Amino acid sequence: MLSIRDVNLRGMKSMLYEDDQKEGHSEKDKKHHDIKCNCTTCVCEVLEDILEQQRKNEELCDSIKSLKPSRNHHETIPFMLQTPYGHPFFTFGKIGTDKCFVTVFFRVVKVDCKKNCALLELLKPDKSIIDCETDCVEIDKICEVEILFRTGECIFIDLSCYSAVNIISPELVKKKHKHK
């Protein structure tokens, strides 16, 4: 069973969920998933919007972009995904090489809201987001990232596993990472 405990955090009342069941879904969620529905999640809709904006920006030729320098024309709109527990989703890139990295930053490549899945490009941070003492992704280290590099490396994800999208400033993204 999913037990709920009220917590007072800085004067704001919030709910803390403790997962006591193996599958991680409440009875209400199980009933919802048993119904044959064509569900579109908020996360999927947000990623569709991001993809549409990226495509619009890619279609503009350089001469038009130079005519409107005050307007931002970013071909990559980076974002992070959050799990239902509020943790950032992370994955590994360049596995099996000395350039292996961990990232929580992504660029949407394709979205299928009927299947509730997406193809995401991994964006490599300019510095490690792993705490070397704990081997864990650290929030403080995520906040220290100043540059994101496009990698061309992609993953497929099930969007029903995520509850939030945190859009990051497109100013952080550089075209391609130059491997040293």
pLDDT tens-digit map of 2-47 = 222 332 222 222 222 333 333 444 443 444 344 444 445 799 999 9
Is position 94 within any domain?
Answer: yes
Q: Indicate if the pLDDT at residue 161 is higher than 80.
A: yes
- Quick check: 20 and 2 in contact, CB under 8 A? yes
Q: Name the 3-class secondary structure at 127.
A: coil
- Cα separations in angstroms, 124 against 109, 151, 178: 16, 7, 11
Joined together, the tokens standing for residue 159 give 């969007």
Query: CA nearest 89: which of 102, 75, 73, 107?
Result: 102
Average pLDDT, the chain: 77
Q: Structural domain of residue 152, as residue ranges?
A: 40-174
The counts of H helices and E strands in the chain are: 4, 12
Same domain for 166 and 128, yes or no, is yes
- Judge whether 133 lies within some domain: yes
pTM above 0.85, yes or no: no
